[in-house]
Each structure stands twice: as structure tokens, then as C-alpha cells.
Amino acid sequence: MNKNENLDNLKDNYKNIEIPSRLDSVVNDAINSNVRKNKKSTAAKWSVVAASIGIVVGAVNLNPTFADTLESIPVLGSMIKIINFRNYRIDENGFDISIDVPKIEGLKDKNLEFKLNKEFEEEGKKQYDEYIKEINKLKSEGLEGKEYAKSWYEVITDTDDILSIVVYNYSAQASSNTTRKFYNIDKKNQTVLTLEGMFEGTDYVNVISKNIKEQMTDRMKKNPEESYWLNDEMVDNNFEKIEKNQDFYINDKNQLVICFDKYDVAPGSEGLVEFAIPQKIVENLMK
């Protein structure tokens, strides 16, 4: 038998092979088996992910060093926030008093955090005690008072570098008045900023004061209805210069904003007055 005849016989034998009746079920079993394997593989992968998350959580709880490392990551790090710690409320004998006390959370320097919160609480309690004393005095004299007062706080600036908070105190009796106290926190260095501490020497006082006078003059030229006590012969307290630790805050443009309460540098009609100082004016004087 030659090679060609042998090849023809092989072809015929192949064509005559009977297909098993269970072929369809065998194929389907094989497919279902693969699907089950894939499902188990997917479940196994998620089990690994879940286990990894558990390991991270456990590491944060057990290892302070690892937790500190996570805090340095912006997404996972702790957030500095201000919450309302307490509200003192008086509504009695014509007195309508509301005092909100802030509380700061999330500072890494817990000593600084404690000191700030202690000051917030002491200031709020002091105001409350003063109003209670006044109410009791009026009661003992058989008189009734009539006063509206409110103390509240606001976050002015909250950036990666700076947190600036202002606490307002408003009172209205025969006339109304509002005062403010500012807290500027350097987040990176975990310190409270003071105006004097931000500058080398004392030249900043005259430099900033000169710029404020220029801004006052410019504002009055642009708007004749605005008024500032600057070279005014009718008043005794014309603005000369800022205090070494004048109230201020840092705005979201990283500018120094010098602040004055009502009646400090202008008639009461001007209310609370602020002046943003251009960076080029002070940048060479800063530490």
C-alpha cells in the first residue's frame, strides 16, 4: 500500500467516527465549571482586598508611627475643624443673650489646641457671668433691663497653610456696637500668628500705617460718603499708626488684612473697617 492510499484510509476513518450522544452535556459541564472557577477567583480577589483594608485599619490602631504617616497624606490626614462647643442662652427680664463658644479640633499640637479651647471657653463664660450679674443687680433693685447681645464666631480663611477665625461680640442697648477678636493659626508650624511675631524689627508699623492712610485717602476720593479720621480738625483721635499687635487676619489670597473695630478710625457709620495690605508692601519686612 502506497502513501496516498494510506492517507485516504485515514480520512475515511476520521469521517466515520461516531459523535458521542453526551457531547453537548460534556461541553456545557466544561463551560459551567469555568464560570464557577471565575466566580471563585473574583471572590478570592475581593477577599484579598478586604483583608488588605483590615490590615491598614489594624496598623492605624496599633502603630502610632504608621498613623502619623497616613496623616501626612492629604486625603487620609486629619482635618482641622471648628465646632460649636457650647451656647449660653439668657431670655429673661428683657435680656436676650446668646453666646456661642467655639471649639477647635484636629490640631497635631494638642497643647496648643487645649490652650485655644480653654481661652474660647473662658471668654464665653466670662461674658455669661457678667450678664447674669447685671440681671441679678436689676432684679434686686426692682428694675427691668432691656438688652440684646450676641457672640458668635466665623471661619474667615481655611487653606492648607492658614486657619483664621474671628469671634464677634455684638450688643445693643441705647446704641449698638460690635467688637472682634481674631485667631490666626499657622497649620504647618502649629502656632498662633501675631502681627509682631511675623515681622523683623518694628519698621512694619510705619510701613503698614502709611499704606492704610493712602487707602483711606483713596477711598474718600472715590466715594465722598466714606469718611475716616485722617487729618480731621474736628476730632482728637485722628489715625496715626497701627498698634504693634493690631487685629488682623490672613485672607485666601495670603494677604495681610488689618482690622479696626467700630469708632476706631472712622465714624460709627463706617462700621467695622478693614484694609488688605499688598504683599509687595510688606514681603521684605517679614520673617
Asked if residue 71 belongs to a domain, the reply is: no
Residues 65-96 have pLDDT tens digits of: 444 443 443 433 358 889 999 999 999 888 89
Confidence of residue 12 (pLDDT cuts 50, 70, 90): low
184 close to 164: Cβ distance less than 8 angstroms: yes
Are residues 85 and 51 located together in one domain of the fold?
Answer: no
Q: Which of 108-112, 230-234, 254-258 has the lowest average pLDDT? A: 230-234
Verify that 36 and 89 share a domain, yes or no.
no
Grade residue 6 by pLDDT with cuts at 50, 70 and 90. low
Q: Where are the beta strands (DSSP E) in the chain?
A: 81-92, 95-105, 147-158, 162-172, 176-186, 191-192, 248-250, 256-260, 273-277
Q: Which of 192, 219, 248 is the last residue of a domain?
A: 192
Same domain membership, residue 39 and residue 111: no
Taking the C-alpha atoms of 131, 135, 138 and 142 in order, what is their torsion angle to the nearest 10 degrees? 170
Report if residue 7 sits inside a domain: no
Residue 287 lies in a domain: yes
Whether the CB-CB separation of 169 and 178 falls below 8 Å is answered with yes
CATH code, domain with 249: 3.90.640.20
Residue 172, strand partner residues:
148, 176
Residues 176/170, Cβ–Cβ less than 8 Å: yes
Residue 250: pLDDT above 60?
A: yes
Do 210 and 286 fall within a single domain? yes
Do 180 and 109 belong to one domain? yes
168 and 127 in one domain? yes
Provide the domain limits for residue 200: 194-287
Q: How far apart are CA 117 and CA 278, in angstroms?
A: 32
Residue 17 pLDDT > 60: no
Identify whether 125 is part of a domain. yes
Confirm whether 100 is domain-assigned. Answer: yes
Q: Are residues 202 and 175 in the same domain?
A: no
Domains of the chain: total:
3
Residues 209 and 253 in one domain: yes
Within-domain flag for 21:
no
Distance of alpha carbon 68 from alpha carbon 58, whole angstroms:
14
Cα Rg, the chain, nearest whole Å: 37
Can you give the CATH number for the domain in which 178 is found? 3.30.565.40
> Over the stretch 200-239, which tens digit does the pLDDT of each residue have?
999 999 999 999 999 999 999 999 999 999 987 777 889 9
Residue 70 lies in a domain: no
The predicted pLDDT at position 93 comes to 80
pLDDT at position 9, please? 56
Q: Is there a single domain that holds both residue 55 and residue 128?
A: no
Residues 274 and 205 in one domain: yes
